[in-house]
Amino acid sequence: MIYVKTAGRTLRMGLAGVVLLLSAIAWAQGQPQNLPTITLQAGMHNIRAQVASTPDQHQIGLMFRKDMPSHEGMLFVFDRATPQCFWMRNTLLPLTIAFVRDDGVITNLDDMQPMTEDSHCSSEPVRYVLEMNAGWFAKRGFKAGTRLSGAPFKPAPK
């Protein structure tokens, strides 16, 4: 247990509560999130992806980030495959979004402009969404049907 003192009160919370509290504080202060990372593979390319797995982390996403190395991105993980839609409120970087099935196959890609509220939606229910710098997938020849690999994705059926 972790104890947090606020305005004369002491709150008792577990690690998950502290992470949630810190994410909310960062969002309120206009700061980018710093989440745990995993390595994914797209062909011969490694991607270092921060993992957003809670609703609060999903909501903040890559907001407020002023730059991002070309091999980094953010993987949004949902409890189950459902239609997913994203926007770019408070997001300063142009991004390309990849909607990804459980087996790692990209269903569709979309380029997103900074600071807009246009909806960018999956073409089918997905459990994973990967955001990278704009043009990252196109520059490497990746499109719908490309398979990503890494810990979250189920292996291809034999």
Span(s) in the chain for CATH 2.60.120.1140: 33-149
Domain 33-149 is found in CATH 3.30.420.40: no
The model's pTM is 0.80
Spatial separation of the C-alpha atoms in residues 91 and 46, rounded to whole Å: 24
User: Are the C-beta atoms of residues 27 and 41 closer than 8 Å to each other?
Assistant: no
Higher-confidence residue: 57 or 12? 57
Q: For the chain, what percent of residues have pLDDT higher than 90?
A: 77
Return the pLDDT at 15.
64
CB within 8 A of 17, min separation 6: which ones?
A: 2
- How does pLDDT run across 72-123, given as a tens digit for each residue? 999 999 999 999 999 999 999 999 999 999 999 999 999 999 999 999 999 9
